[in-house]
Amino acid sequence: MRIEEFDVLVVGAGLSGLRAGLELSTKWNTAIISKVFPVRSHSGAAQGGINAALGNLEEGKGDTPKSHAFDTVKGSDYLADQDVVLFMCEEAPKIVVEFESMGAPFSRLESGLIAQRPFGGAGFPRTCYAGDRTGHALLHTLNEQSVRMGVTFFDEYFVIDLFMVEGKIAGLIALDISNGELVSFRSPYIILASGGFGRIFKRSTNAMINTGDGVGAAFRAGIPMQDVEFVQFHPTTLYGTNILITEGARGEGGYLFNTKGERFMEKTAPKAMELAPRDIVARSNETEVIEGRGFEDAYVHLDLTHLGAEKIKERLPGIREISIYFAGIDPIEKPIPVQPGQHYSMGGIGTKFNGDYGQTDLPGLYTIGECSCLSVHGANRLGGNSLLETAVFGRYIGKKLIEKGLPIKPSSSEIQTAESGTIERIERMFTSWNVNSGKKPVEIREEMGETMNRNVGVYRTENELKKATITLKKLQHEFLDTQVLTEDRRFNYGLIRTLELRSMLDIAEATAFASLWRKESRGAHFRTDYPSRNDDDFLVHTMVHRGKEGLEIKTKPVKLGIFEVKERKY
């Protein structure tokens, strides 16, 4: 078995992982492990932009980091931790300037300043962008800088499990996808930046790689999942494929229409209209379809035609290409058919209540990005804040670990004992999959996705959530007897899909379980049987554990004190 040793391991080569790795590589021997080549990471799919209170537009002159923080907390339906939100928003202008200094090709105003556009839930136009391919531009920028700094990459490695020595992180076991070899990576610090888990839903904007591998590994190591009931459904995904149609399309002035030709957002958000937060717009879209005002009983129209050809070609070229190639519609001439689809996970790996941002209860293990729950998004994320979170906390955690210094490593014999035990468990699991005669992993995955879409969607009820929990428990049992059809591990993507499903089932079950527990409506979690927000009983973070009797929930207080908790109106 191959052994690799580093001062720090970063799992994931999206924006979070690259920014952390870039910071750490200035001082320490750092490795980034990724199951895909870095520029194929899902960060590249982000379209709309990155938020910062720069005030580059005339109508944004009054913007401040505190205004940005207030909008973020209000958009979160007051479940975001206010101290960490304020920190993120204060760092935002520095991060954007840093990206610019690295060569990020931001769109520009005629003055030469970075262009900014309005986004949902924002009081000022603060979203900086690179056309409608902002994530792509920033991902390539960070990858270039990482290569320049000589960061060590292990591309096409699948992280299976973590291992500990005396209650502290000591390393992880990964599968080298190319040759099927198990590799032990030893390190006293591990940063999980492995991205989201949207593929637990059948209808999602997420890349196929977003399967929650880091969340599953942390959960199996005893770290709780935090706030996983809060799943963001983007209001505008392309009907039929669920490819993302950026919020920037509405930021540039796009309108939503039903079959009656009504701009129906006037009913739910008369001031903000199409630029209300995503949870509100998604529910409005879904309501139009449910009540019979949708096209083909399935979608509504996003109309950009009034923007004109020049503006669409300049500001939304990618959206035009997507519409033409995948829907046969040129948005210069016709409206785009859109429907809500799973887009983002506000919840993720649980973090400590006190201590450094991103630190978990397992010493030496940190988490950033969509796989984590630092709780800067609370119950609903504002568009433009996800790219910001990755860079702010990637840099922050890198700097913080360097300040802490390297811990004393356990002895080689202790590490060897821990990694050997982990490898034995993995090998037994592989062997059982090769001889089992149960369902194929794809059959279990299909039923899981259908269940999540049907029962844990935009609107939720106790009856539907109970059905979901029963089905997901059944699928967990069936997974124990699942089969992998070949023993050859070289480029065995049947094995990879099975390893992904192992984590996805845990996350799906925890999501349904926490959604059933939270008997209120808050942000993206909407219970038609409990349609009101209940601050007295549920202004808390959920922490889902695996107990002896199954899943259990503990709670963690929300950090308040900067902004008063109020009713959310737009």
Mean pLDDT (whole number) for 207-235: 97
Interval 272-299: pLDDT, tens: 999 999 999 999 999 999 999 999 999 9
The domain in which residue 514 lies consists of: 413-538
**CB-CB contact of 153 with 30 (8 Å):** no
pLDDT of residue 289: 96
Residues 420 and 531 in one domain: yes
Nearest to 318 by CA among 43, 133, 139: 133
pLDDT of residue 415: 95
Whole-number average pLDDT of the chain: 96
Measured in whole angstroms, the distance separating CA 462 from the mean position of its chain's CA atoms is 26
Rounded to two decimals, the pTM is 0.95
Residue 146 lies in a domain: no
**CB-CB contact of 276 with 268 (8 Å):** yes
Residue 529 lies in a domain: yes
d(CA 234, CA 203): 11
30-34 vs 168-176, strand pairing mode:
unpaired
Residue 367 lies in a domain: no
Predicted confidence (pLDDT) at residue 147 exceeds the cutoff of 90: yes
Predicted confidence (pLDDT) at residue 269 exceeds the cutoff of 80: yes
Residue written as tokens 């468990």? 425
**Cross-strand pairs, 8:** 30, 189
pLDDT of residue 504: 98
Which of 340, 363, 395 is the last residue before a domain boundary?
A: 340
What the block records as the tokens of 473 is: 């428990």
Mean pLDDT (whole number) for 516-541: 97
Interval 443-496: pLDDT, tens: 999 999 999 999 999 999 999 999 999 999 999 999 999 999 888 999 999 999
In CATH, what number is assigned to the domain containing residue 290? 3.90.700.10
In CATH, what number is assigned to the domain containing residue 496? 1.20.58.100
Predicted confidence (pLDDT) at residue 511 exceeds the cutoff of 80: yes
CA atoms within 13 A on the CB side of 523: 33
Cβ contacts of 58 within 8 Å, gap of 6 or more: none
What the block records as the tokens of 228 is: 């996983």
User: At 11, is the pLDDT very low, low, confident or very high (cuts 50, 70, 90)?
Assistant: very high
Count of helices and strands (H, E) across the chain = 16, 21
Residue 466 lies in a domain: yes
Query: How many other C-beta atoms lie within 10 A of the C-beta of residue 1?
Result: 10
Mean pLDDT (whole number) for 135-156: 95
What the block records as the tokens of 416 is: 């060897």
User: At 549, is the pLDDT very low, low, confident or very high (cuts 50, 70, 90)?
Assistant: confident
Residues 534 and 433 in one domain: yes
Residue 47 lies in a domain: no
Kindly list the catalytic residues: 278
Mean pLDDT (whole number) for 518-543: 97
**CB-CB contact of 555 with 544 (8 Å):** no
How many domains is the chain partitioned into structurally? 2
Q: What is the dihedral of CA 521, 464, 553, 379, to 10 degrees?
A: -30
Nearest to 470 by CA among 396, 538, 551, 527: 551
pLDDT of residue 353: 81
Which of 324, 340, 356 is the last residue before a domain boundary?
A: 340
Residue 281 lies in a domain: yes
pLDDT of residue 548: 87
Which of 340, 372, 396 is the last residue before a domain boundary?
A: 340
3-class secondary structure, 233: strand
Residue 543 lies in a domain: no
| Exposure letters 96-126 (e unless 16+ CB within 10 A, then b) | beebeeeebebbeeeeeebbbbbbbbbebbb
Interval 65-95: pLDDT, tens: 999 999 999 999 999 999 999 999 999 999 9
Residue 90 lies in a domain: no
Residues 427 and 321 in one domain: no
What the block records as the tokens of 280 is: 């509100």
Predicted confidence (pLDDT) at residue 355 exceeds the cutoff of 80: no
Report residue 445: phi and psi, to 5°. Answer: -65, -40
Residues 323 and 429 in one domain: no
d(CA 90, CA 53): 9
Mean pLDDT (whole number) for 545-552: 93
